Amino acid sequence: GALPAVLCLCAAAWSCCAAGVAPERDQPCRPPPGWAPAGRVSPEHDVQLTLALRQQGTARLARLVRAVSDPRSPRYGRFLSLEQLRDLVQPSPATLMTVLKWLRGHGVESCSSVATLDFLQCHIMAERLLPGAEFHRYLKDQRSVVRSPLPYTIPKDLAEHVDFVGGLHRFPAERNVVSRAWAKEQAEPGQPHGQRAAFHLGVTPSVIRKRYNMTGGDVGLLPNNSQACAQFLEQYFHQADLAEFMQLFGSSFAHHSKVDQVVGHQGWGKAGLEASLDVEYIMSTGANISTWVFSNAGRHESQEPFLAWLLLLSNMSSLPWVHSVSYGDDEDSLSSAYLQRVNVEFMKAAARGLTVLFASGDDGAGCRRVPGGNHTFRPSFPASSPYVTTVGGTSFKNPFLVTTEVTDYISGGGFSNVFPMPDYQAAAVRSFLRSAAKLPPSSYYNSSGRAYPDLAALSDNYWVVTNRIPLPWVSGTSASTPVVAGMLALVNDRRLQRGQAPLGFVNPALYQLRERGHGEALYDVTQGCHLSCLDGAVQGQGFCAGPAWDPVTGWGTPNFPRLLRALLEA
């Protein structure tokens, strides 16, 4: 018999579209704003679906990640190879046999697996395979996707073997960098400590290097070290933009002017602002380090670009050590099964020694109206995963001087409603909750959830070259994330020079900095609040920054030489 896939395969409360609109159980999903229905596709239409097969050994994997990521552990830095990881998590023979038998029984032959054997990608006529599914085409800005607005069923005996089927419901998540004019900023006179602050007309690599105490010598030296950023949704960078950016802004430090490797499809359309920003700032902060770009455009109408990137991580034995990703979705728009499984994918990355950074988002604490008319804050995922390093955003207190930083009001932050607070951050977060001068009403957030961000960097008024034009005033945590990623790639460069392991999942080490006497490794940001719900209770204000860790800027922003010293000792 068939069992409704509410069990594990549809999105939360049938809200199978990334808009977070939860329809009634038997109602179709509504697509996110901007996606227009363009008619039903033929039931014979070939779609590409990703089956996430149930993994083994996930509890052991969690214990292993704790051991290899904690500087106090004797197993610190002893990471797994892809083959060792496969042996730990690969699905049971029963799972593989049951799923393959089901697929073959429906005439499905064209499937490919990944090295860890826990994903299958298949080209199938899905309406035959998944009763209930009904595929429609949706259009937005010359993009086309094929999705099913209706929930689907899978055979009962298969439910325990499959975590979810990707490519059915979720629409591509959008994250746009914003452009804000300085005129809106209120310049405050802030006296910089001990030095004359440099005047500047927007954030450039030299402003970042000055603020975070990086010298011309802080560049990569090793050929076997690399860093990467991931791009989605037809977002492309152009090599010519990168070369022009380095010509304009890179004269004071050794650098590469070319991306060494593009994994995936690099289109020839217009350059995307987000893609240009990522590449230019990871390569000017992590200067002279070999850089890869994972380009996952979602060329196939039924492909989920973010899932395609995760599959690449599970399939490549040699990868860059640091990954910067500016991507996010509302946590409540995703099914529990999907969230838990993607979280395991980040554990797999941590077990291999990869440092994965995500932007915390540009909506402050976020806002969601829940049935009954009340509001709650709205956490973002993957920012809320306990196995990634999440980067928030700051602004200069005086927008024209390289001086003290304050909160950037857009900086994403808050508490997960899905993932419990990990041990590594419990003391820091409880201290914040105890000592914060003012907290929002407790009904707005889950104070026992994973709290983010972990740290921050400047996210306001960047210069970017895109389509050969230098653009000012580009803002968002999409800017701060590649900056922090580049710095951690430089730390890896020094660690590898000294014969040490790369940093891997860095959060346990970050949260131990103060107790290990390295509190000065991060500049504490203690001023400013981020935005949230416009209602009578919170009036647009989320959390506020304060001493030590807070859910707006995390532990603060990097003081590079001190951070380098601290992480070399880890």
CA-based nearest residue to 114, from 85, 141, 149, 137 = 85
DSSP 133: -
Residue in this structure with the two tokens 């380095």, named with its chain if needed: 246
DSSP string, 542-567: EEE--SS-BTTTBT-EE-HHHHHHHH
Coil vs helix vs strand at 530: strand
* pLDDT average, residue stretch 396-402: 92
Dist. CA 547–CA 210, nearest whole Å: 23
Q: Is the pLDDT of residue 16 over 70?
A: no
At residue 333, does pLDDT exceed 90?
no
What confidence score (pLDDT) does residue 143 get? Answer: 76
| Least confident residue range of 55-59, 332-336, 451-455, 552-556 | 332-336
pLDDT at 173: 65
Report d(CA 528, CA 413) in Å as an integer: 13
Q: What distance in Å separates the CA atoms of residue 388 and residue 244, rounded to the nearest whole number?
A: 32
Residue 20 confidence (pLDDT) above 80 = no
Catalytic residue of the set 302, 411, 478, 480:
478
Instruction: Give the mean pLDDT of 121-134.
Output: 80
pLDDT of 148:
83
183-188 own/partner pairs: CB under 8 Å, 24+ apart: 185/395, 185/399, 187/398, 187/399, 187/400, 188/397, 188/398
Q: Which of 70, 274, 330, 331 is catalytic?
A: 274
When pLDDT is averaged across residues 268-287 and rounded to a whole number, the result is 92
Residue 214: enclosing H or E segment and its boundaries? none
* 278: annotated active-site residue: yes
As a whole number, mean pLDDT of residues 465-483 equals 95
Q: What is the Cα–Cα distance from 361 to 393, expressed in whole angstroms?
A: 9
Among this protein's residues, is 478 annotated catalytic? yes
The predicted structure's pLDDT at residue 29: 67
Average pLDDT over residues 308-322: 93
For residues 504 and 488, give the distance between their C-alpha atoms in angstroms, rounded to a whole number: 10
The catalytic position among 127, 234, 278, 332 is: 278
Cα dist. 297→34, 148, 258, 339 in Å?
A: 18, 20, 20, 22
Tell whether the model's pLDDT for residue 10 goes beyond 80: no
Model confidence at 186: pLDDT above 70: no
Q: What is the pLDDT of residue 373?
A: 74
Confirm whether 274 is a catalytic residue: yes
User: What average pLDDT does this structure show over 548-568?
Assistant: 98
Neighbours of 421 (CB within 10 A): 19
Distance between CA atoms of 237 and 269, rounded to whole angstroms?
9
Mean pLDDT of the chain: 87
Regarding predicted confidence, which is higher, 147 or 112? 112
Q: 23-32, 371-380, 511-520 — which one is most confidently predicted on average?
A: 511-520
